[in-house]
Structure 1
Amino acid sequence: MIANRFKVAVVAISMMLAGCSAATQSSWVHPPMAVPFQPTIQQQIQLARIDQLLKRNDLDDDTLAQVYYERGLLHDSLGLRDLARLDFNQSLSLKPDQPDVFNILGVYFTQSAHFDAAYEAFDSTLELNLRHPFAQRNRGIALYYGGRYALAHEDLIAHYQQNVNDPYRVIWLYLVEQALKPEAADDKLRQRFEASDQQDWGWQVVRLYLGDVSETEFLAQISRDSEDNTMLAERLTEGYFYLAKQYHHRQDYQSALMLYKLALSGNVYEFVEHRFSLLELSRLMAEAKVREVPVEPEGEVADAAE
């Protein structure tokens, strides 16, 4: 495969975390890593062209709104979220009936833990487009992070029923059920796994949660099967995030902390797993503080989130 030259050599994956309630730093010596995403020349050229286009004075409001929206998406893909938010707000001020803009603003509000604003944004999306492909899922995730698990379950079960072969719908539904109905969550996860076609790579995460594959095997498979650095970065972002969620659930805060940081390391800004890793870090630090569990100094995480 042409991707082999991009892969990070993993001589031995020494992330044997299972059964370890207080992981030491030596457990994290050789995690598989990808080369972090960097701005491409195409993205930079596109940004320059949009900036030039916005200097014209002959564009109507609808066209300007679309241009601001496209620049916002570009800023978002580069991790420049404050600039992206400004563009999205500018786009809405010119054309207020844009469900896609409300949807992504709702994700931003969720990331910053402004949950009421997030719910309103997703409600606006669905009012404008009842069949929006992501708003119901994103509202369910926002409700989950806002601690409104029953409402989150309503959204995510409806979203799952629209496509039972999408593993990520199953995973987020499972995370909600872990909080809402922990005694039944694993059984329901198994039932949904067996009812699916199991074709998408994301089902490997489900197999990990079910205990059908070990953490070492899971990470080794990602490293071995990724065809290029892009695939490696994307799958590691997902893999580390969902693995972190399990350690977080078990209150193994140090292991979860390291895994959330690894999920951020690939700069895969457009993935929800990257988007919510900083939110998870803030939640983790707050929980650890309440439980008086020593983790890294809080300032390090707070600085990263700003």
Structure 2
Amino acid sequence: MHSLTKITLLILLLSSTLLTQGCASSEGAQNNSSAAIMNNLVIAEPLPITFKSELAIARLSEVINRAKLSDEKRAQLFYDRGVLYDSVGLRSLARFDFSHALQLKPDFVDAYNFLGIHYTQLQEFSQAYEKFDSALDLSPEHEYAFLNRGIALYYGSRPELASIDFQTFHQKQQDDPYRLLWLYLTEYEIDPVAAKKSLKERAALVDDRTWAKQVIYLYLGEISQGQFIKNLAQNVQSNKALTERLCEAYFYLGKYNQALGYHGSAANFFKLALSTNVYEFVEHRYAKLELDLMRTKKTPDNHL
């Protein structure tokens, strides 16, 4: 059996927050329902930094510092070490290495893409757009530059432009539920009714056996939050797989509650996504940004 545990002190704290969220009867009902859901959550151990990652960083550092290399090869090493730093949550060190790689190789497409991601997380949207534009100028078919620029535009409050990038990204693989979900989140900002209709139509191309199809069912109202959470551990064979699934699930639960106006519940789910330490996942990257943005907005039930 997987190494699953019920949330203990964390759940008590989160439930306490949920129970203090509102005064109206409708809010009270939501709080009680949310508290019941939170008390039934399961979590896995946060992903640790692996020995292999630490060793790889040490070896790359030694080569960078000692070996005589061309600028192009040195740029590649800085980029590779930056990716490793990023994968273990050392964002500032990663950003330094990506910038250094670009100094040595100004046409390094993937370095532009990664820097754009980091500037998005820092809410420095103008610089993020600039980096993604540079990546796409150099490589017009770079799929993930479209995804990442779309995300930057989404968080930069430009949903119409974001939807264009997400549509391009979605068209390249229409059976990918994650591409569909980001397109839906953006279209929801423009027209919620039309967005849900489009989600239902596009979802037909997503294989029902794909786990993320459950997120789509949740957003379409075909399953409840309780059912969604109850099935989170199904067909998971390891703690790592469970942790990765929970990172995704809690982020999308956060967005779901946010859309309903339940900001306290949304914040709790974003915090749970962060607790997985799955630094490389898009959902982990932007759970922190979601919390940062929520702190800047004054909402009556926003206990962050």
Q: More displaced, 98-107 or 202-211?
A: 202-211
**2-side partners of 1:62 and 1:175: how far apart?**
39
Please report how far the alpha carbon of residue 159 of structure 1 lies from its aligned counterpart in structure 2 after TM superposition. 1.5
Give the alignment of 1:1-306 within 5 angstroms: 4-8=1-5, 20-22=29-31, 26-27=35-36, 28-287=38-297, 289=298, 291=299, 293-296=300-303
- Give the Cα–Cα distance (whole angstroms) in 2 for the partners of residues 103 and 83 of structure 1: 16
**CA shift for structure 1 position 57:** 4.2
Shift of 1:251: 1.5
Please tell me the residue identity of whatever aligns with 1:45: L
- Once superposed, what is the RMSD of the aligned Cα atoms? 2.5
What are the Cα deviations for residues 160-217 of structure 1, in whole angstroms up to 9, with x where unaligned?
1121101011101110111101121111111111233344322121111112222222
How far apart are the structure 2 equivalents of 1:152 and 1:190?
A: 20
Q: Secondary structure at the match of 1:138?
A: helix
| Larger displacement relative to structure 2 (71-80 or 183-192) | 183-192
Q: In the alignment, is the contact (CA less than 8 A) between 1:269 and 1:275 conserved in 2? A: yes
Q: CA deviation at 1:30?
A: 4.1
- Runs of 4+ in structure 1 deviating by more than 6 angstroms, as ranges, are 13-19
Between the aligned partners of 1:21 and 1:117, the Cα distance in structure 2 is 40
Structure 1 unmatched ranges of 5 or more = 298-306
Q: CA separation in 1, counterparts of 2:107 and 2:152?
A: 22
Find the counterpart in structure 1 of residue 23 from structure 2.
none
Equivalent position SS for 1:131: coil
- Is the 2:262–2:301 contact (alpha carbons within 8 Å) kept by the matching residues of 1? no
Give the drift of 1:153: 1.1
Distance 1:202 1:213 in 2: 13
SS in 2 for 1:270: coil
Q: Matched residue of 1:225: which SS? A: coil
CA deviation profile, 1:220-279 (whole Å, cap 9, x unmatched):
222232110111011101000001001111221110010000010110000010000111
Question: For the residues of structure 1 that align with 2:53 and 2:169, how far apart are their CA atoms?
Answer: 33
Aligned residues: 290
Using CA pairs below 8 Å that are at least 6 residues apart, which structure has the higher relative contact order? 1
- Provide the rounded CA distance (Å) in 1 between the counterparts of 2:108 and 2:227: 44
Matched residue SS, 2:89: coil
Identity %: 40
Partners of 1:244 and 1:256 within 8 A in 2: yes
Please report how far the alpha carbon of residue 139 of structure 1 lies from its aligned counterpart in structure 2 after TM superposition. Answer: 0.8
Q: Secondary structure at the residue paired with 2:234? A: helix
Name the aligned partner's letter for residue 302 of structure 2.
Answer: V
Tell me how far apart the structure 1 counterparts of residues 164 and 55 of structure 2 sit (CA, whole Å).
43
- Normalised to the residue count of structure 1, the TM-score between the two structures is 0.88
Letter in 1 for 2:303: E
CA contact (8 A) 1:8 1:34 kept: yes
